[in-house]
Structure 1
Amino acid sequence: MKKKAEQILHQVGLSSVEAVRLFYTQVCLHKGLPFEAKIPNRATVRAIEDATKRKTSRATNIDDILND
């Protein structure tokens, strides 16, 4: 993961040290994480797993969705 992240940072002209400094700056400015961090509930985890496994249903119109 580190190597992949460093490749991406290099593409935008940042070193990993500069990226960490920017992250810390944003943490201080936001007084917390500069993005929303959530632990998904069971229903969300199940929906993600179903979508990944393609266990989802398709609707052809809005009535199909509302009647589901």
Structure 2
Amino acid sequence: MAKIKDRYFSVITIGRGEPRKFFVAFRYLSHPPFLKLLDAAEQEFGFNQGILVIPCGPSELQRILS
């Protein structure tokens, strides 16, 4: 499990159903569609929330990460 923590960070999706937790690889921090989600998260929730919450549904995040 330590390897997961070293290479991934967790996010929670909120939208279109129940919140869902994802582990996202750090490499997505330079992926333009994911960066758009980060901008939306900052605008909607700010970054002082403890855990990163993304304002989208789980299927949308899965599509961006695939």
TM-score with structure 2 setting the length: 0.28
Higher relative helix content: 1
Q: Which has the higher contact order (CA 8 A, sep 6+)?
A: 2
Q: Which has the larger radius of gyration?
A: 1
